[in-house]
Amino acid sequence: MPELKIRKIDFQFGDDIPFQFNPNNLYWSNFVNYISLIGPAFERYFIRA
């Protein structure tokens, strides 16, 4: 098996990225942001189910 080559990729994000990606429905926008933050913590439980 060949060795893995580790690359350091420089991601650049602009300062104009909005926190609420759906300004017409702030409840949904914040709910999806919340799920995106806590989702990885519960991933092991979803996989077991």
For 23-46, how does the pLDDT look when each residue is reduced to its tens digit (9 = 90+)?
899 899 889 888 888 988 888 888
pLDDT at 42: 86
pTM score: 0.49
What does 2-42 look like in DSSP terms, one character per residue?
PPPPP--------TT--SSS-TT-HHHHHHHHHHHHHHHHH
Predicted confidence at residue 22, as pLDDT, reads: 83
Return the CA Rg of the chain: 17
For residues 21 and 25, give the distance between their C-alpha atoms in angstroms, rounded to a whole number: 9
Instruction: Check: CB of residue 30 under 8 Å from CB of residue 37.
Output: no
Structure token digits, residue 33: 């942001």
